[in-house]
Amino acid sequence: MKLLKILLLIATLCSLSFAEKGFPKEYYELQGKKAQAYFFNFLEKKIAIENSKILKERDFILSLDGKKDLSETSKEYKELERLQKKYKVKNIYDYKTFLIRVDMIPPSLAIAQAATESAWGRSRFIKQANNIFGHWTYDKKIGMVPLKREPGKKHMVRIFPTLEASIAVYMRNLNRTGAYKSFRANRAKMRNSGNYINGYILSEDMTKYSAIGYEYVKILKSIIKRHKLTNLDKKFYDKNN
């Protein structure tokens, strides 16, 4: 019985190590408009799933209706505590900050950044590490060394078990990191005004995502405008509001 368990464990580890990374193989056989359409449709679905998870968390926070006397042994308190750690909210009852941080990422912005950071899903990093948003790490256990890394540099490209994990970390990054405070503030204004969350406008707040600053914003805006990706923002917003 022990031998069987060991063999099953080895088989599982092998399957994980050889699991398909990046986009499905069929995508890499496409070119031109067919490849772009596939890219948009494939990512739209995955981004929608992760956004739905975030909105579920947001609904939970709204359901608490500003209560500040939850029992520390209750399910509600423990869930709020989990979200406090996830979104780095200092005060567990700071619902205002929670609602600013726990919100959707516009699909148009996410797709435009994915296209830019992964060379439309064809970069080495997405094919070998499921890294679609250019995340770095300094942890050797979950990183791979860039081929053109400058001498003396220690950063690595983060390896993700799945594309979904890469998308989830990207969204968490925008929702809690100090560099994207203006993004969250402007998103909150859109939310409070009753307008859909517009990725084309919010791309203005991505200057700190890349070393090229506002040139990066221009690239994102060009992709969003050329492919009319804000239609995906409206579609998701209308479906979930």
With 0.85 as the threshold, say if the pTM is over it: yes
What pLDDT digit, counting tens, does each position of 210-238 carry?
999 999 999 999 999 999 999 999 999 99
What pLDDT digit, counting tens, does each position of 8-31 carry?
444 444 443 445 688 999 999 999
In order of 40, 113, 199, 231, the CA distances from 133 in angstroms are 15, 7, 16, 22
- Closest C-alpha to 221, from 206, 233, 236, 232: 206
More confident: 110 or 22: 110
Q: Has residue 56 been placed in a domain?
A: yes
Q: Has residue 38 been placed in a domain?
A: yes
pLDDT value of position 155: 76
Q: Has residue 225 been placed in a domain?
A: yes
Calpha distance 40→25 (Å, rounded): 16
What pLDDT digit, counting tens, does each position of 146-172 carry?
667 677 677 778 889 999 999 999 999
pLDDT value of position 153: 76
More confident: 12 or 115: 115
Q: Has residue 137 been placed in a domain?
A: no
* Host H or E run for residue 45: helix 32-63
Question: 5 falls in which pLDDT band (50, 70, 90)?
Answer: very low
Q: Has residue 86 been placed in a domain?
A: no
E strand map for the chain = 136-137, 143-144, 156-158
- The structural domain count of the chain equals 1
Q: Has residue 125 been placed in a domain?
A: no
- The token pair at 114 is 């994915």
Neighbouring C-alpha atoms within 13 Å toward the C-beta of 62 = 11
User: How many other CB atoms are there within 10 angstroms of residue 237's CB atom?
Assistant: 19
Calpha distance 109→202 (Å, rounded): 8
What pLDDT digit, counting tens, does each position of 65-92 carry?
999 999 999 999 999 999 999 999 999 9
Q: Has residue 196 been placed in a domain?
A: yes
pLDDT value of position 2: 52
Residue 30: give the domain boundaries.
24-63+103-114+162-240
Calpha distance 145→218 (Å, rounded): 28
Q: Has residue 152 been placed in a domain?
A: no
Quote the mean pLDDT of the chain.
Answer: 90
